[in-house]
Amino acid sequence: MELQITPTLTGIHSIDFRFPLISITLPDGAPPKDLVVECTPSQLGIRTTTLELLTNDPNMPIASYPLECEGVDNMAHFSSVPPPNQTIQFGKIPINQTINH
């Protein structure tokens, strides 16, 4: 018997998750197939939803998986060691020689 799988997303942040496949059909004895799920957070913070796989398997009509990703600030921020306005020590260097730091 072919296994029919239809993925759905349920939950408050389901708009932030997506998968490219509408449904999956696995012939009897077929090898496993990957389902790619993407998260593109629309806001900062934890984004959650539930992936539900609806199947025609009478023993497992629904398989549920909680999903989570975190939206973070994607702005570039400057940092350095040592912090700005503190001296970078090169130490003692012989005359006419160069040291990289």
Q: Which of 64, 71, 33, 34 is nearest to 49 (CA)?
A: 64
Q: Which of 62, 66, 63, 37 is nearest to 50 (CA)?
A: 66
Residues in the chain, pLDDT under 50:
none
* pLDDT given for residue 36 in this prediction: 87
Q: Is 96 left (phi over 0), alpha (psi -120 to 50) or beta?
A: left
Boundaries of every domain in the chain: 3-71
Q: Which of 43, 45, 48, 26 is nearest to 35 (CA)?
A: 26
Distance CA 5, CA 101 (A): 58
* pLDDT given for residue 23 in this prediction: 87
